[in-house]
Structure 1
Amino acid sequence: MSVDLWDKPIELMMDNADHFRCVGSNREAVAFLMTSWPTKGGKSFSVARRACLQALDGKMATAKAKLAFVHAAREAGILRG
């Protein structure tokens, strides 16, 4: 069984940086990607979604999935900090 929790949550800006949301696991990342992501599609979005799903299945390291999610969030302009 894979470990789903990340070592440190990632903070994301929502609604033009008026609100923030923390994502702290692969499961939360997949949910955020599918329901709250500002744009659908794009290479980084697809890579992050695939990586987080693979990590949930134990086919990828959690740290690699988190890194893919951070990269996609940075590209989308929603990474805080």
Structure 2
Amino acid sequence: MDPKRWSKPITYEEDGRGGYRTITSTGEAARVLLNKWPIANGRQYRRARQVCLDVLEGKRMPSEARKAFLDAAKEADVFVRDQ
């Protein structure tokens, strides 16, 4: 099992029009934050990007990236189904 994978996936509203996507790993979360996030600024957004990169470099645990992603989603008012 990939150590960067999350123990529980997160499903979030991707486009604000009812499209959903499920994230299962730190790598997926990093790609979403860097390429498809609805806001390009915000304290939790910047923190989530950094935590994801730290996890990918082996400096933090994947659970920290999952929590940071949830915090960034709350900040950006992105609907999340935390499974």
Instruction: Check whether the contact 1:70–1:79 (CA below 8 A) recurs between aligned residues.
Output: no
**Unaligned runs of at least 5 residues, structure 2:** none
TM-score (norm 1): 0.90
Which structure 1 segments of 5+ residues have no match? none
Supply the distance in 1 between the matched residues of 2:47 and 2:11 (Cα, whole angstroms): 19
Is residue 47 of structure 2 the alignment partner of residue 47 of structure 1? yes
Name the residue aligned to 1:65.
Answer: 65
Aligned residues between the structures: 80
Aligned to 2:79: 79
Structure-1 separation of matches of 2:79 and 2:32:
13
Root-mean-square deviation (CA), in Å?
1.4
- How far residue 14 of structure 1 moved from its aligned partner, in angstroms, is 2.2
Q: TM-score, normalised by structure 2?
A: 0.88
Q: How far 1:78 moved relative to its partner?
A: 1.2
Equivalent residue runs for 1:29-44 within 5 Å: 29-44=29-44
1:18-57 residue CA offsets vs partner (Å, 9 max, x unmatched): 1101111110011000111001011000000000110011
CA contact (8 A) 1:51 1:65 kept: yes
Alpha carbons 1:4, 1:62 under 8 Å: kept: yes
Q: How far off its partner does 1:61 sit?
A: 1.1
Shift of 1:77: 1.3
Q: What is the aligned partner in structure 2 of residue 56 from structure 1?
A: 56
Identity within the alignment, %: 34
* Poorly superposed stretches of 4+, deviation over 6 Å: none
